[in-house]
Amino acid sequence: MPHDALLEEPPGATTHPENDDLRSLEAGLDRLQTDADRAPNAWRRFTTSVVPPIVFVLALIAAWQLYVVITQPRPDLAPGPLEVAAAIGGAWESGRLQLAVATSLERGVLGFLIAVVVGTPLGLLLAEVKPLRRAIGPIISGLQVLPSVAWVPAAIIWFGLTDATVYFVVLMGAVPSIVNGLISGVDQVPPQLRRVGTVLGAGPGRLATLVVLPAALPGYVAGLKQGWAFSWRSLMAAEIIAVGGTIGFGLGSMLDQSRELADLAGVLATILVILAIGILIELVVFAPLERRMLRRRGLLQGGAR
């Protein structure tokens, strides 16, 4: 039966009154059942979700400054916001801040990318090959429980104070997250979608590429996001603990240095930078990625958050 024959209307069918009736009825119902798109009000979103935290942080800083001005505490135990700002400025001027941020970011991003390259095929393999998964899955989940900071001493013994140590720790932190994210993403693919794929005539290969992988994307992205968080955490741990040797100067090293100089303003400044980078990466890289994907799938919850 050729395709076109199936769709061919009997002559005059489109003008058949009963059919027209049905069409107008369906159109009316469709109109009633779909809400007009409400344009998200950017200004409102800004005032309700961006302004309050900023105001709160500013108030916090003001209170802190006030406290410092009034009680005049020992500056080495309670530096004021101005001193912390000065510490950031100083580090910037001397170029140490840029160097540290560049080094840490490079390591974090590179380590994360390696983790993605390692974790993705591993995750796919575990998700699709049942016996492997039974055997290795629990071990990977277990590794996720292990604080990656615990790997630092072992890595130092193996690789000395070199960048290999840092990358090893980052990998041990990020890979289990990514693998588990991908596995749970594949698990959450509704079995119905696989069956539809089969019914539509997809073989295993096209089923995987056209159905399973796109369907598992939300879990995978969530895993990537968490993997990044773990990369960043592990990196900081490694940098703080493993200082010296041929290890470059990252944010963790900067933190440790400030601590050795008993420079609390410098410590707090570095913490703020680390926090800012973490939030920034999340806002700039993962949040839009996730939001776009969820919006396309209609999984985004109402903007109450």
Instruction: List the one residue from 53, 190, 205, 302 that touches another protein (CB under 8 A).
Output: 190
Question: Is the separation of the CB atoms in 276 and 101 below 8 Å?
Answer: no
Q: Kindly list the residues in this chain that would bind a copy of itself in the complex (CB under 8 A).
A: 48-49, 52-53, 55-57, 76-77, 131, 134-139, 142-143, 145-154, 156-158, 187, 229, 232-233, 235-237, 240-241, 252, 255-256, 258-259, 262, 264, 267-268, 270-271, 274-275, 278-279, 282, 304-305
The one among 12, 17, 35, 70 contacting another protein by CB under 8 A: 35
Residue whose structure tokens are 């980052």: 170
Q: Does 10 bind another protein (CB under 8 A)?
A: yes
Q: Compute the least distance from the CB of residue 141 to another protein, in Å.
A: 26
| Residue 105 near which of another protein, a copy of itself, none (CB within 5-8 Å, type-dependent) | none
Contacts (Cβ under 8 Å, ≥6 apart) of 294: 218, 300
Q: Which is nearer to another protein, 27 or 280 (CB)?
A: 27
CB of 10 to a copy of itself, least distance (A): 44
Pick from 126, 211, 222, 251 the residue near another protein by CB under 8 A.
Answer: 211
Q: Give the residue, chosen from 110, 202, 277, 289, that forms a contact with another protein under the rule CB under 8 A.
A: 202
Among residues 247, 222, 279, 291, which one has the least CA distance to residue 100?
A: 247
